Structure 1
């Protein structure tokens, strides 16, 4: 039996160590953070009267790291409150406390001698059964503990988190030669379920999987740039979304990672790989060494391949000329191949379009892509046992849309392999054998499952029961109802899932119609309903374009009809006699929030950015958002009419009026959007499963639809309080006249209109107030300007 992990210790409080501790704290794991004792007192410590023996001095490095966690942006912590789960200490005074930990993680400097010395110290206080791991990005797992005892080695392995741990899905688990297989299995499952990671098993080779292939690809690209004379802007134009990669592409990514860090990683591989040809690839170009020597290490130093400068017109992005080493304003790069890729839908189509065109950028794309595919094929069996591990590592660790073997499938396996050989390249024997046996893909989608290449045969790609894939279910003909905007999918055990799939998952008439039809279907044939999808974002709100067009045309009956349909659809969800659970993720804004509020429970993804943001386009929530906040406020006074509701409604007024958005699923509690039965599941892959289980649990308990509630409002006197606050904001220059107009409408609705304080009103009454306020604001020219600006520029207009 492997000892369950509830307490952890992280050794090393640098950027990575502190961030790992923060992620563990977010998962509810108490964490001891240790570092060395500083050598000298600071001037401030001397002034405070501290001595070399004072714990505040001795724990300074770890304490300072914890303090920085609450100030770093983007935040490493899901909630600032979670910092209290991390306890600072030092290696001299607190080494013995490691015996109380279930998991010890080493995150010190990437030097083998330092790590070996540390593990020798750890073993002296180590309690049998405690798992010990290293976060090394490439040092040999075997070499670090070769002098340790057999039992220690059985409990030792690598756990390579990608930076930043909160946001990067990949975690490479690297067993040592003698690591207990039961511990490897336990850590894989623990890190997936408890930490929400995408785990791949790597072999104990230089830089493991993702950094091995990623570093190779980056160096190939740099070499192509230098040999062919491409500019910084050209390289990133080709190796970004057009090639199925992030917008940061190649050189912007290096700036973000840190050129010094990249050089260190590349040198690590160079020192450890065999063969002159491979060593030559991992030789760092002289221009990169020169940039690092000058301190041009990227984002952290203020300049690398790019730098931001202030001009009279504002900030300007400049790109480095690698010949002159001077900066000039970054140029926009266009070509037929890039435009073709931009117009194509989906990563596979974009890459095919880019490679199919006949221009220098198409050639560049092929010349940087081809070596990566060949290298990945050569490394199969050496760095990982399956193509799946390699593909997942690159998607989760480098944010590629497609892994190398998925990408090879997309561009045509047989045709591209023939081209490679025609151009004088060597294709791995196993790839040629696979093609010769009649196969045209590494992956094969079948109705029942996905199959992949493994040892010259197709093997079914197994997934955990907790991973419900809507795409797979749709291939299995599990769609019950559907239209252009949404589908109702049978996800098993009598539970249906309502999936949005309109552009950006914006809510329009198609989704609202499907909500109405879905509730009827669930009422007749299912135990309950999950609202979830697998889009990039859960829902960015209502279809603003449609509203603006109707408003500009003066079609007020149409606008009124849209809002009524939205409100009625949300109330239909709320009054469904079966349990409803929403499972939002990523951007969940405006109408997206209002689609979740009627649910009995909300299961948040940790990265859920959740907020009623309608004021950003000059409007207020009108799909029940204001009504639900007033209802939540009223519930606090249930059975005790003497409770003062004003401070609570003031808070909601500020939250909605300032368009506050949560910084995580956990943060929804701080800003008042998390209900008493809502929760967060750390694994995004398990989100729909968790929502389904919540539906089934409520059904087993004998779900009874809650009775309709009357809402106690703060009324005219409460409205006056809110209006005074907005007037003061305008006088102080914090908001414009139009902002104050919007705030006045919001105050009117949240307060319950011009009724006496304490009046009990119906939900429909509140919805009518929302709709009236929304319609009146739609008629305001400045609101229409804000809507147009958001559609055109993607950001709010202050007018």
Structure 2
């Protein structure tokens, strides 16, 4: 496979500046820093203390936010605080300037005039406005800068939300846009959607309308806010925060501001009458109840309970309402066409509410498609990536039967049931079966179907996020069993091993399958990548099978299963062809151990990796502790204990990294492992790394026979720290038992400090402790509890 190429040189962004250290500005700066882009964070000069005090405080605050904007908290120190009075010189060597100050056109225009003389002749300028006119902003810039200016709208929180809207002006240079698109996609890891310069662009125009329609119908059908959240969350393929919890998280004042922007800037919209905050939303804002940031909004915490606002009582009550039995039964229907038919036909107010919200969303989105977006695909991706929906509005409509739903919408328009009498566009009822098909997605503005972008950056996405009905080449199967599939994609000689189990857990079929697949690869291929077609990478060992063997008293079979686990990890490590693990999402327990034994791991930034066995009363026994002891000896042969200190706490407390960068900090990933910011590029990069290793003459590491260990002195030192934890009631007796066995394995057992052992010694020790722990009553109780509840048991 050859790397994608372009006739134009790539846009190189070494240094960036973010103007505005508010919530969004600081978090955009944090994410650019995650991506190793040197970033200067500007704000107004402080009236007291250091002049850059506002930016300094914002950078410090990044460490406290949850979810964490920084993928590794130590990176906060890399952000350069600055102010507009003393530090504009910084702008001379900056390649990208992102303005992220408050949504006031006059303030933004003043700032542009101030910075213009200091910005280099090649720097790209972008505004992170969520709805102001990009063309209007461009007019404040000197003429020679306008071709380098564009809108670039990140969604909150910038590290986690995949969407970035790119909004060109009439004058933005095409090369600037293509370069920025590649940078945002690969370096920053985003999904880029081009939006037209219309108020609130695509994501917030459709997303906020959906929330307004939901609020309107909440009143019409007299439903509680908690009932609406039960109906508009995971039950319909949307995030758990649903509607009103989302509003609380966003901030009710922010929500009201976006609604006001729609009211002010869209006077001719046929739905304009609805662009106003409901009375109860305005009432909450007046009381200072702005949602999560003030501790109260639609919901608030009362002791340990969550209470919800009851508009009729003008007070909070216990949050308990759920979807009605009828609606639960309808939403459980797999066929979307049948589901929507039943929703519309039902007399249940909750079903009627759901139909009404979907109907008005479809109506609005179809009516405005031509104005706001180039294609229906852009709308669906904007809503999926910016709002976390599983399907966009057009995908949902198409899946439910395009013409049937269109007929129902028209009937409701004619009957005066819809929020607006605006006609459905003629293309909706032209006999089509939808807006997504083999030739691309529909563009209402040009009345044609358009294929996906041909930008070279997308050649790096072998399996991009599919739009409804889209199919990609699934490759050629080389061999498979009930646990894994070994397959190839293209003719580059790289085999791909994918698991076939639920949550990609590891059972005997997976263990035997990996070993057999590697054997085939050694004969027929040049390298192997372990990659899953979805998340997670692997949730670890199949606990159900393990507990079954224990409860049946089949200890020999249990021991053999552990031996097979270790044998699989060692097969990965000592394969004659390089094995690369491509990790995204969870890589826990055995999944973590497989990547540890790989020649290289290529991990998506959002990878949550850890040896979590202590949480179920066990210790890692798929070779994980053995591998950590080997690494400690290699990094510090004279005193391996130093290298073990940090890793012992990570394993004994079953810590999971909050990102791939954090996994590097903890030692679960190596310095040589690769972090990829766009998860859709993961397989491409992993294949390139595997080919590179193969072409550079890969040889498996030699079997280690002289490994210096920390010995019984190391174990005793760890035990002393555990005694303090137990004395302070931070650890139970069984916790200490597990941690002591972890320490004993890492330190090489009851032998003198500095003794030399081989890998088999460490594997035997690991296996012995694992099997002995597994036979204890408390560990079996922990395993059973975790399997039943999904939560750890402290006993």
TM over 0.5: yes
The reply on whether 1:690 has 2:685 as its aligned counterpart is yes
**Distance across 2 between alignment mates of 1:125 and 1:459:** 41
Query: Counterparts in 2 of 1:506-525, with a 5 A limit?
Result: 506-525=505-524
- CA distance in 2 between partners of 1:207 and 1:474 (Å): 33
2:425 to 404, 415, 428: 428
**Aligned with 1:724 (options 717, 720, 729):** 720
Residue number in structure 2 paired with 1:131 = 124
- Aligned counterparts, 1:225-624, within 5 A: 225-275=218-268, 277-310=270-303, 315-340=304-329, 359-424=348-413, 426-433=423-430, 436=431, 439-444=432-437, 451-454=440-443, 455-462=446-453, 464-469=458-463, 475-492=473-490, 493-624=492-623
Shift of 1:27: 1.1
Shift of 1:762: 2.8
Contact 2:537-2:584 within 8 A present in 1 as well: yes
How many angstroms apart in 2 are the aligned matches of 1:501 and 1:384? 39
1:747 aligns with 2:755: no
In the TM superposition, what is the alpha-carbon distance from 1:363 to its structure 2 partner? 2.3
Matches within 5 A, 1:24-103: 24-39=32-47, 41=48, 45=49, 56=50, 58-103=51-96
> Pairwise mapping of residues 658-673 of structure 1 onto structure 2 (< 5 A)?
658-673=653-668
Cα RMSD between the aligned structures?
2.3
Query: Could you tell me which of 625, 629, 640 is aligned with 1:645?
Result: 640
Provide, for residues 651-670 of structure 1, a one-character-per-residue CA deviation record: whole Å limited to 9, x for no partner.
32222111122121111122
Cα drift, residue 349 of structure 1: 9.8
3-state SS of 1:588 partner? strand
Measured against aligned partners, the alpha-carbon deviations of 1:537-581 in whole angstroms (never above 9, x if no partner) come to 222221122222332232223322322222222222222111111
1-structure distance, mates of 2:92, 2:534: 44
- Local SS of the residue matching 1:673: coil
CA contact (8 A) 2:236 2:331 kept: no
1:52 matched to which residue of 2?
Answer: none
Which residue of the partner structure matches residue 49 of structure 1? none
* 1:358-398 CA distance string (max 9 Å, x none): 74333222111111122222222211101111111101100
Q: 675, 694, 714: which is aligned to 2:670?
A: 675
Deviations 1:5-54 (A, max 9, x none): 21111111111111111111111111111111233x3xxx5xxxxxxxxx
Q: Give 1:793 shift.
A: 2.4
Cα displacement (A) at 1:351: 7.6
Q: 1:502–1:387: structure 2 CA closer, same or farther, 3 Å change rule? A: same
Corresponding residue for 1:51? none
**2 CA distance for matches of 1:674 and 1:289?**
49
Query: Which residue among 9, 16, 19 is the counterpart of 1:8?
Result: 16
- Which sections of structure 1, spanning at least 5 residues, go unmatched? 46-55
SS of corresponding position for 1:307: strand
1:788 corresponds to which residue?
784
Q: 1:298 to 1:92 in 2, by over 3 A?
A: same
> CA–CA distance in 2 between the matches of 1:263 and 1:520?
61
Aligned residues of 2:231 and 2:323 also touching (Cα < 8 A): no
Stretch moving more, 607-616 or 373-382: 373-382
C-alpha displacement at 1:479, in angstroms?
Answer: 3.2
Q: Indicate conservation of the 8 Å contact 1:348/1:407, yes or no.
A: no
Residue deviations 1:555-611 (CA, integer Å, cap 9, x gap): 223322322222222222222111111121122211110121111111111111111
Q: Distance in 2 between matches of 1:394 and 1:64?
A: 33
Are 1:766 and 2:759 an aligned pair? Answer: no
Q: Distance in 2 between matches of 1:133 and 1:600?
A: 41
> How far does residue 341 in structure 1 lie from its aligned partner after superposition?
6.4
Superposition deviation, residue 204 in structure 1: 0.5
Q: Is the 8 A contact 1:240 1:247 kept in 2?
A: yes
Structure 1 distance, partners of 2:153, 2:388, is 16
Give the stretch that moved more between structures: 260-269 or 316-325.
316-325
Displacement of 1:484:
4.9
User: Residues 284-331 of structure 1: CA distance to partner in whole angstroms, max 9, x if unpaired?
Assistant: 211111111111111111111111111xxxx11111112222111111
Q: What residue in structure 2 maps to residue 117 of structure 1?
A: 110
Residue 156 of structure 2 corresponds to which residue in structure 1? Answer: 163
Cα displacement string for residues 720-769 of structure 1 (whole angstroms, at most 9, x for unaligned residues):
33233323332332211111111222122112222333333332332222
Give the 3 Å change call, closer, same or farther, for CA 554–340 of structure 1 in structure 2: farther
Asked whether the 8 Å contact 2:709–2:757 carries over to 1, the reply is yes
Structure 1 residues 266 and 674 mapped into 2: Cα distance closer, same or farther (>3 Å)? Answer: same
What is the CA distance between 1:353 and its match in structure 2?
8.3
Are residues 485 and 206 of structure 1, via their aligned partners in 2, closer, same or farther at CA, if it must alter by over 3 Å? Answer: farther
2:337 & 2:653 partners in 1: Cα distance?
40
Give the paired residue count.
768
Q: Structure 1 length normalisation: TM-score? A: 0.92
DSSP-derived class of the 1:739 partner: helix
2: CA distance between counterparts of 1:346 and 1:730? 54
Matched position secondary structure for 1:699:
helix
- 1:238 is displaced (CA, Å) by 1.0
Any unmatched runs of 5+ in structure 2?
1-8, 415-422
CA distance in 1, matches of 2:102, 2:643: 49
Under a length normalisation based on structure 2, what TM-score does the superposition of the two structures give?
Answer: 0.92
Closer, same or farther in 2 for the Cα pair 1:337/1:663, shift >3 Å?
same
Alignment deviations for residues 614-633 of structure 1 (CA, whole Å, 9 cap, x no partner): 11111100111111101101
What do residues 629-655 of structure 1 show as CA deviations (whole Å, max 9, x unaligned)? Answer: 011012124xxx5x1122222332222
1:112–1:139: 8 Å Cα contact kept in structure 2?
yes
1:585 counterpart SS class:
strand
Q: By how many angstroms is 1:344 displaced?
A: 6.2
Judging changes above 3 Å, is the alpha-carbon distance between structure 1 residues 758 and 38 closer, same or farther for their aligned structure 2 residues?
closer
Pick the aligned partner of 1:198 from 185, 191, 197.
191
Deviation at residue 787 of structure 1 after TM alignment: 1.5
Q: Residue in 2 aligned with 1:48? A: none
Instruction: Report if aligned partners of 1:619, 1:742 keep a CA contact under 8 Å in 2.
Output: yes
Change (3 A) 1:617 1:348: farther
Q: Please list the CA deviations of residues 496-527 of structure 1 after superposition, one character each: whole Å capped at 9, or x if unmatched.
A: 22223422222222322321232122222221
SS across alignment from 1:452: strand
Contact 1:395 1:402 in 2 (8 A): yes
1:679 positional shift:
1.9
Alpha-carbon distance between aligned partners in 1 of 2:648 and 2:344, rounded to the nearest angstrom: 52
C-alpha distance in structure 1 between counterparts of 2:334 and 2:158, whole Å: 30
